[in-house]
């Protein structure tokens, strides 16, 4: 079993012309993405600090299983919205 951890910082321009940074962590095991997390910041320094801290936290034993979110995915939510707007859940 092999694991790849990826930490990426992307700069973006916001509506008002200000710039921001987005940090993204992806963990891939045996070719399948098992975890993904992202967070947006106003400053690159804060983005780098968060990325470093989260990668350290996720490296601890059992941390990945605790960090995995349980709940509806975007796909499930969009299906629910479709049912609501089509009148099936009203």
How many other CB atoms are found less than 10 A from the CB of residue 31? Answer: 7
Residue 69 backbone phi and psi in degrees, to 5: -80, 145
Residue 36 backbone phi and psi in degrees, to 5: -145, 140
Of residues 27 and 71, the one with the higher pLDDT is 27
Pairwise CA distance, residues 27 & 73, whole Å: 18
Report CA-CA distances (Å) from 87 to 56, 72, 81, 84, 90.
47, 21, 10, 5, 5
Establish if 90 belongs to a structural domain. Answer: no
Question: What percent of the chain has pLDDT above 90?
Answer: 14
Q: Where are the alpha helices (DSSP H) in the chain?
A: 44-58, 63-67, 74-85
pLDDT for position 11: 92
Domain residues for the domain of 69 are 3-85
pLDDT for position 21: 92
Average pLDDT, the chain: 76
CATH code for position 13: 3.30.160
Overall number of domains in the chain: 1
């Amino acid at each position: 079993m092999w694991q790849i951890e990826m930490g990426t910082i992307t700069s973006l321009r916001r509506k008002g012309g200000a710039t921001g940074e987005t940090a993204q962590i992806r963990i891939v095991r045996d070719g399948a993405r098992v975890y993904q997390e992202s967070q947006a910041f106003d400053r690159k320094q804060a983005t780098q600090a968060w990325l470093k801290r989260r990668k350290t936290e996720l490296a601890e034993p059992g941390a990945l299983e605790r960090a995995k979110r349980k709940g509806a995915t975007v796909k499930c939510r969009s299906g629910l919205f479709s049912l609501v707007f089509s009148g099936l859940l009203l």
